């Protein structure tokens, strides 16, 4: 009988397969998105130096804490904020890393909000 993988194991396999191809550099950082049940996080990462350049999350966004950071509206706010932070750091283009998650719901809302705010990927 074949071994059935859990959802977390499947996501991890997809994430590792994607990370072989997606690499952030100093000129083109990686926009890594993580979603938990309660919050949404976005990181700008330079993989060549192993540094995180900027972080935005629903834990504390624009000086306020979201009561429910695990919804699509909060993800849109995170997408807009990470695009502004990237532009402050001097980046117009990034490489998008969905972290093994499907491209729908909060991940899609964050990506579209970042694109509307002027970020290219």
Q: Say how many CA atoms lie within 13 Å of 40 toward its Cβ.
A: 28
Whether CATH 3.40.50.720 fits 7-116: no
Can you give the pTM of this predicted structure?
0.86
Boundaries of every domain in the chain:
7-116
The confidence score (pLDDT) of residue 1 equals 54
Local structure of 90: helix, strand or coil:
coil
* 37 token code pair: 């049940």
pLDDT over 80 at 64, yes or no: no
Is the CB of residue 77 less than 8 Å from the CB of residue 112?
A: no
- pLDDT tens, position by position, 65-112: 777 878 999 999 999 999 999 999 999 999 999 988 889 999 999 999
How far is Cα 64 from Cα 48, in angstroms, rounded to an integer? 33
User: Quick one: which of 100, 80, 104, 83 has its CA closest to 92?
Assistant: 83
């Amino acid at each position: 009988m074949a071994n059935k993988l859990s959802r977390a194991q499947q996501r991890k396999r997809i994430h590792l397969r994607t990370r072989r191809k997606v690499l952030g550099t100093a000129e083109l950082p990686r926009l890594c998105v993580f979603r938990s049940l309660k919050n949404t996080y976005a990181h700008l990462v330079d993989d060549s130096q192993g540094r995180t350049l900027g972080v935005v999350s629903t834990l504390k966004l624009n000086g306020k804490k979201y009561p429910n950071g695990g919804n699509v509206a909060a993800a849109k706010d995170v997408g807009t904020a990470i695009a502004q932070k990237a532009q402050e750091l001097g980046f117009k283009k990034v490489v998008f890393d969905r972290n093994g998650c499907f491209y729908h719901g909060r991940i899609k809302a964050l990506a579209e909000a970042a694109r509307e705010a002027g970020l290219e990927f």
